[in-house]
Chain A
Amino acid sequence: MELINQHTKRIMEGCKERARAAGLSFTDESLEYVVTNRDLLELSPKVMIPTLYDYWVHDVEVLREKGKYELYPHNPYETVINTRPPISFYNDNNPDWLNVMIFYHVLAHIDFFQNNLYFRNTWDYDFTGQALSDKRVIAKLRAEKGRWVDYVIEFARGIDNLVDFHGDLADLFTPSGAECSSRLDYYFDVFLQAEKKVSVSDYIKEVGRYNDCLKEFGDQGEKTFFAEAELRYPELEAHFARTGDAQPTRKRDLLRYLLDNSEFLARDENVWMRSILEIVRKTSLFFQPQIRTKILNEGWASYWHERLFLQDDRIKGHEVDFARVHAGVTSMPRVGMNPYALGMRLFSHIEEQADKGRLSFAFQRLLDADQRKKFDTGSAAGHDFIFRVRENLCDYLFLKTYLDQEFLDRHKLFVAGKRLDQQRMVWQYYIKNRNAEEYQKMMLDSLYHPPVITIDQTKGIEGSLYLNHAFEGKQLVREYVANTLMGIEYLWGSPVYLETSEAEVVASSPYAPRQEEPRDEEITWQRVLYSMNEKILSKKKIE
């Protein structure tokens, strides 16, 4: 790996000036490296982070059949990584005009990394520096503990998708002093709703009473409020005391919970394992925003590389070359999804809508098709609007909010289906429908979404760990349950339970065509409880 030459660096600096003038904002410094295929082979298992810790799985070909894109952030071949300064990777034989295009793409990514609020947790430090020190910690531990370090890495990585990214993010944005006391949270969130099941009007009355108390008694408001509440519900304090201890505040963050509560990890001889868990958790959290903004990020970068390239005076004469490469990147495929193309078109669409003032209630309430067509307030607010979109949204909200019927019609998008023609034994690809809701659902369904697994310490036997998988219409990959639970049991030091749902009819043979056969019958879901005790997995049905 070596830095790009001065000539190319000068081009990059020219791109920065032009990108800044267009409104993008990013730090001054950036590092550009030329990588060979050999470098790529080494970098890709480490998700392009040159200083990531060593782990034997990086040297093995990893089978990624089922969870292909769930395992680590996504396709490892990224051009630019979100570090301070940002580092980007290039071929040594790119022509200048292509570099200009890629530079704009990269700069838009950097702008995105540094301005999208989902990346807030990555702003205050340099991940490569962090990773380097983590790598040294692991190397040092490996010298002392040998292969056990790798076991702990393996078990920790087994649950590194179960981190509460959103919870951590929320903390960063909550101003200090704005939090409620845990008693108040419990009273309003759990006690009134789940235990007393009070009616909505009573609930609101209670909220009103709390506000009154605050107004009237100031600092003593909460105390007064609870004094009265306890008169009405004498059991409140006891309930609160019981659940308050058992329930973790961050129910969705299994790694954090293990770090804080595992007796096994708290033993003197095992304390070293904690640093590994911390490292794995940190690494996972670092990549979380990236995987949750794929469409937005690629769309943003494609939108800007197109726009800035065409305005760039230095590349005259390469418009056709550019058009070919650009079309290759951003053409909508006849069948399938392309995050670059979709994101870019959606940004353009949003900009245009905002320019005409259509992202407003006045437009939304219009029903007359003709009037809708002509609607234009001439507000020209599009430019600012898309910058706000890039600052505040993630893929889910981006698609959920802006993927409308007009967009679908305009780009002739449809949901493509696949069905089996039994007689001719062919798969037929067909147009399922052109409904925006269906399209949106299909897209949202394809987004990264780790299972929601919460810790419930009111269940299970004494000392065990009880995990509850919230059912969202999908089951967990069964083959992986055993080893993952074994890892959790190791880190927890006592039996582990996992409550989840499983489909009753699953007919699959490894020799069936790789894509699943159409199944007519509805799948019935059964709640089951896995338990892992002394490395033995058992399963029973529960109601």
Chain B
Amino acid sequence: MRNDLRTYLDELKARGLDAEREARMRAELATASDGHALPPVDLPQSNELSRFGRSIYADGDLLVLRQAVAPQISAAALAKSLDELLERDRQREQDGFPRKIQIGKLVKPGRGRNGKVVVVPTTVEEKLFHDPTVRPSGEGGSSGGTGDGEDGEVIGEQPVREEGEQPGTGPGQGGGENHELESSAYDLGKSLAEKFQLPNLKDKGKKRSFTRYTYDLTDKNRGFGQVLDKKATLRKIVETNIALGNLPDVSDIDPTRFLIAPHDKIYRVLSREKDYEPQAMLFFLRDYSGSMAGKVTDLIVSQHVLIYSWLLFQYGGQAESRFILHDTEAKEVPDFYTYYNSRVAGGTQVSSAYQLVNEIVARENLEKDYNIYVFHGTDGDDWDEGGEKAIPEIRKMLSYVSRFGVTIAEHGQPGSTTVSRYLLGSGLLKDKPDLIRMDIMQEDADETRLIEGIKKLIS
């Protein structure tokens, strides 16, 4: 494969390539053989530096003396009371207080468990207390230490990115635990709730239903029930009386002479009605080429986590998700864990992912039964300079998707990425704003920006 890429690169070069782009591509090419390894499942134990800055109040007797580990609250137990908590939160708002429950914490996308993200409620108890992170003059703080060494001697180092965590955590970095994604803003849950209604939701293939039921007095029953259906009962009585010959003249009915059999009474009974709702299929596409190292992957994955976990929450079993990773080739991965953690490497061919989506949709005939949403995250770099391969695939995709959202996390100069250029150039964004959206953010975007982006992609 590597040789193919090299030939391809040479071809591109022959067609004219500026030096900087070529360098970037070569750099990506160099990583192509690294593979997209998943992190080792067993994590190394925390090292001696991890106690830096740890509060003296962090240790408690039970854990220290028993050498035990703190019991984990099971996500299932928390999720059980979710509805109740959210109801409480809604009530808070009606009572005129800001919401307090946050949704959006991700509990370990476990391997092989269908990539379920569990959404758990979290909250903060606010008080007035000192903020230890703001210091008059700065370093990274100080802590205690013991042992030999001269003043000023460096006793340990830790890469900045993996600060405080086991090596190799963070999306795209490999890594296992603690991928918590927490929102700092309280109104996240709320704003998500308001903004995250899927657009263009059409009734398609009512095959699946919500596990939600509504109860309604729709069924009728003779003899007993909850509410007497007077009209139906009267009709029945009339019928019976005609049959009995008790009603000689239809134009002159005397109700007092009616014979009423108990069986004639018709009641409405409470019945469980399945609530059918249209279903959605979500495709998440992530560029995991070599250029995606660092921050950009972080952004993309964070955004996808937000979309994903929210939709899972909001639509329950109604929204199904598929995950696709691509460098120069695309592959579908089985669960969110793999999607989230696979290491970046290799070159970039955006069209490959689009092509795969089209294939899957065609093969499984998804178009008929599902509303299809595609979210793609990339740094905007594509070896396919003019989008000759990507644009046709996109056009094909737009024939069936309800929304296609591209997120571009730019490395440097705004508006200069290949993908954004050919997307703009194609005019698709203008022609079909209902179907395709693009969100471009800078590498240093913060969470608020991410949420803005989601609004842009989805609203």
Contact = CB atoms under 8 A, between A and B. Distances in A.
For A294, A414, A428, the residue with the greatest tally of chain B CB atoms inside 10 Å of its CB is A414
A473 B155 contact: no
A514 B139 contact: no
Contacts of B367: none
Given A159-B127, A513-B160, A535 B96 contact: yes
Contacts of B70: 44, 77
Contact of B57 (A147, A294, A412, A433): A294
Contacts, number: 345
Interface string B132-151: 11111111111111111111
Interface in A479-524: 479-484, 486, 498, 503, 506, 508-511, 513-520, 522-523
A442 B145 CA distance: 11
A88 to B, nearest CB: 9
A367 interface: no
A350 interface: no
B125 interface: yes
Contacts of B88: 56, 147
Interface string A40-81: 110010000000000011011111111111110111111110
Nearest to A524: B136
B66 interface: yes
Contacts of B145: 333-336, 413-416, 431
B151 A432 contact: yes
A393 to B, nearest CB: 16
Nearest to A442: B142
Contacts of A101: 65
In the complex, which range does the number of interface residues on chain A fall in?
35 or more
Contact of A518 (B61, B91, B100, B139): B139
Interface stretch (B48-56, B202-210, B375-383): B48-56
A349 to B, nearest CB: 14
B105 interface: yes
Contact of B131 (A157, A453, A478): A478
A202 B40 CA distance: 76
A188 interface: no
Given A429-B157, A476-B131, A480-B126, A412 B146 contact: yes
B225 interface: no
A337 interface: yes
A336 B52 contact: yes
B436 to A, nearest CB: 27
Given A56-B88, A61-B105, A91-B68, A432 B154 contact: no
B446 A511 contact: yes
B453 interface: no
A85 interface: no
Interface string A145-169: 0010001001001111110000000
A516 B133 contact: yes
Contact of B65 (A102, A480, A486): A102
Interface string B81-113: 100010010010001111011100100000000
A274 B265 CA distance: 57
Contact of B59 (A91, A340, A439, A479): A340
Contacts of A474: 130-132, 134
Nearest to A395: B56
A78 B62 contact: yes
Contacts of A38: 71
Interface string A337-374: 11110100000000000000000000000000000000
Contacts of B100: 154
B95 A453 contact: no
B184 A448 contact: no
A513 B141 contact: no
A426 interface: yes
Contact of B140 (A109, A333, A418): A418
B147 A442 contact: no
Given A417-B140, A431-B149, A511-B295, A334 B131 contact: no
Given A419-B139, A510-B447, A412 B61 contact: no
Contacts of A295: 56
A177 to B, nearest CB: 37
A105 interface: yes
Given A428-B154, A429-B155, A510-B447, A477 B142 contact: no
A519 B53 CA distance: 17
Given A158-B125, A159-B128, A514 B164 contact: yes
A430 interface: yes
Interface in B299-331: 299
A241 interface: no
B445 to A, nearest CB: 8
A482 B156 CA distance: 40
B146 A477 contact: no
Contacts of A522: 136-137
A527 interface: no
Nearest to B52: A335
A157 B125 contact: yes
B139 A335 contact: no
Nearest to A339: B56
Nearest to B130: A474
A439 B144 contact: yes
B298 interface: yes
B108 to A, nearest CB: 13
Given A415-B144, A426-B159, A516-B133, 17 more contacts: A66-B132, A69-B55, A77-B63, A151-B97, A336-B144, A412-B148, A414-B147, A431-B152, A442-B144, A443-B144, A451-B130, A477-B128, A477-B130, A484-B128, A510-B446, A511-B299, A517-B140
Interface of B: 48-68, 70-71, 73, 78, 81, 85, 88, 91, 95-98, 100-102, 105, 120-161, 163-164, 182, 184, 295, 298-299, 444-447
5 contacts: A61-B120, A71-B127, A334-B49, A429-B156, A484-B128
